Copies of this chain bind each other. A is one copy, B any other.
Amino acid sequence: MIDLRDKLREFAAQRDWDQFHTPKNLATALSVEAAELLEHFQWLTAEQSTRLPPDQQEKVRDEMADVLLYLIRLADKLDVDLLDAASKKIAKNAIKYPAGLVRGSMKKYSDY
C-alpha cells in the first residue's frame, strides 16, 4: 500500500492534480467509483453475482482497483493508516456484534 500511495502522489504531481484532490472531492470520487462497481451487480440475482462472465470480471476488478486507489489517496491526504484503522475496526465490530447474539442474522444493531 505504501508503494501505491507513492505512485499516486507522483501521478497527481505530474498532472498538477493536487489542487483537485481535497478530502471532500476524493470522498466524492470514492463514492462514485463504489457506485460504478455496484452497477455491475444491480440487475443480477444473488446467485448470478457469484459467477460473473469473464468480461464482467475484468471490469469489476478495475472498479475495485479504482475504489482502493481513491481510498489510499484520501488516507494519504487525511494522514490515516488504513491497515491499522481496519484492524481496529474489526475489533470494534467484534464487540458490537457478539457472535453468540447475532448468529445467522443481519438485523440492525439497534434491533438487539
B64 and A71 within 8 A (CB): yes
Q: When the two chains form the complex, which single residue of B31, B41, B106 contacts A17, counting CB atoms closer than 8 Å?
A: B106
Report A22 CB to chain B, min CB distance, Å.
4
State the main secondary structure of chain A at its contact with B: helix
A92 to chain B, nearest CB (A): 7
A49 touches B30 (CB 8 A): no
For A32, A87, A103, the residue with the greatest tally of chain B CB atoms inside 10 Å of its CB is A32
Given contact pairs A27-B34, A32-B38, A65-B82, a sample of 20 additional A-B residue pairs in the complex whose CB atoms are under 8 Å apart: A3-B87, A8-B90, A11-B93, A15-B97, A15-B104, A22-B49, A24-B48, A25-B42, A25-B43, A27-B38, A27-B49, A28-B41, A28-B42, A31-B37, A46-B46, A60-B78, A61-B78, A62-B85, A65-B89, A67-B71
- By a beta-carbon cutoff of 8 Å, the part of chain A in contact with chain B is 1, 3-4, 7-8, 11, 14-17, 19-20, 22-25, 27-50, 52, 57, 60-62, 64-69, 71-72, 74-75, 77-78, 80, 82-83, 85-90, 92-94, 97, 99, 102-104, 106
